[in-house]
Amino acid sequence: MNDETNTDRRAQAKPDTGETYDSEGSEERVRGVIMGVAAMALAVAVFVALSYGIPKGEKAECIKWEQQAREFPNFYLTKWQDEQCIANGIIINATIK
């Protein structure tokens, strides 16, 4: 390219506003970067919620079932409930059906 035609567009001022040529695109770039960062933050938040929230919920269910097993003499667990509680380190003294 020719040096005369390849001028620094950022230095070209708009005649009526005094803004540089590149200022319109930079707002869009900033918005794009902000949206990208926000999307990544949301993905991290979802990952953390799934990593820590679900196991806590499962453990809370097991504690509830453990209390119910003590209160109700005919209380029983299904196989998946027993496996869930064993995986969370909670052993429930109940019949498995």
The pTM is what?
Answer: 0.54
59 touches 90 (CB < 8 A): yes
Report the pLDDT value the prediction gives residue 12, as an integer from 0 to 100.
57
* For the ranges 8-12, 13-17, 24-28, the one whose mean pLDDT is highest: 24-28
13 touches 19 (CB < 8 A): yes
**Region 13-37 average pLDDT:** 75
Question: 82 exposed, middle or buried (CB, 10 Å; 0-12, 13-18, 19+)?
Answer: buried
Rounded Cα–Cα distance for residues 76 and 17 (Å): 77
Rounded Cα–Cα distance for residues 12 and 24 (Å): 13
